[in-house]
A and B are shown apart, each in its own frame.
Chain A
Amino acid sequence: QKEVEQNSGPLSVPEGAIASLNCTYSDRGSQSFFWYRQYSGKSPELIMFIYSNGDKEDGRFTAQLNKASQYVSLLIRDSQPSDSATYLCASSGTGGFKTIFGAGTRLFVKA
């Protein structure tokens, strides 16, 4: 069973701090990795995707991938209350058709 695992949280950080969200995956054939943000009662929206080992930065968000450790993370700098949501990690293997989602980590940013 191919799996993506995340700590369900909740992760609570003060406003302005760095939030660190982590994810591990079991399928070594996974090629692409995604972070989606989902507000309560809403649909997921893509924040970032990453293919290659290392870091990828986009504004306040940095995705990190370590394929040897099968580990993906998302850092959110200068966290804002509006970042409070559930963050879903997902991976897809060769062909990418069957993207596997983790259960999500709930993040609370305290003002």
Chain B
Amino acid sequence: NAGVTQTPKFRILKIGQSMTLQCAQDMNHNYMYWYRQDPGMGLKLIYYSVGAGITDKGEVPNGYNVSRSTTEDFPLRLELAAPSQTSVYFCASSYLTEGTEAFFGQGTRLTVV
């Protein structure tokens, strides 16, 4: 059972470069989320999706974009990478939003230099 799979695990970007963080889940979950976690901090919601074709902003969406063309995939796009985007990024999914378990991917550690 793969669960939530994120790629890549690690990436170093130069300032101004762009990249896409991939996220896929095989649990047929409707809800998917992208979080970032800075050192010693909790998780900040970047974007979320309640189903294919539907996305919305979280707490810290600036500098990011998402799309949800299928139930399984929820990629996160970074345009014009900045040092402030150095963080660990987690993708998560859940069947429902309230009171049900969110399953997290293993994370992507991104460094922007």
Q: Is B102 an interface residue (CB 8 A)?
A: yes
- In the complex, which residues 44-94 of chain A have their Cβ closer than 8 Å to any Cβ of chain B? 44-46, 49, 51, 88, 90, 92
Tell me the chain B residues, 53-73 only, with Cβ under 8 Å from chain A: 56, 58-59
Known contacts being A43-B90, A98-B59, A103-B40, is A92 close to B107, with CB within 8 Å?
Answer: no
**CB closest residue in chain B, given A1:** B59
Chain B residue contacts of A49, Cβ below 8 A: 99-101
A98 to B41, CA, bound (A): 17
- Residues of B close to A22: CB separation below 8 A: none
Counting CB contacts under 8 A, is A4 at the interface?
yes
Residues of A within 8 A of B104 (CB): 43-45
Q: Does B78 contact A (CB under 8 A)?
A: no
Q: Which residues of A sit under 8 angstroms from B106, Cβ to Cβ?
A: 42-43
Assembled-state Cα–Cα distance A97/B99 (Å):
11
Say which residue of B35, B40, B58, B97 sits within 8 Å of A95 (CB atoms). B97
Contact A92 B43 (CB under 8 A): no
Q: Contact residue range for chain A?
A: 20 to 34
**In the complex, chain B residues whose CB is within 8 Å of the CB of A90:** 42-43
Q: Are B97 and A96 in contact (CB under 8 A)?
A: yes
Q: Which residues on A sit within 8 Å (CB–CB) of B40?
A: 8, 103
- B98 and A31: CB pair below 8 A? yes
Chain A residue numbers with a CB within 8 Å of B59 are 98, 100
A93 nearest CB across to chain B (Å): 9
On whether the beta carbons of B97 and A46 are closer than 8 Å, the reply is no
Query: Other than the known A92-B98, A98-B45, A99-B102, what 6 A-B pairs have Cβ atoms closer than 8 Å?
Result: A8-B40, A42-B106, A49-B99, A88-B43, A98-B59, A104-B41
- Ranked nearest first, the 9 interchain pairs of A and B with the lowest CB-CB distance are A96-B97, A96-B98, A101-B42, A43-B104, A101-B43, A103-B42, A46-B101, A32-B98, A32-B99
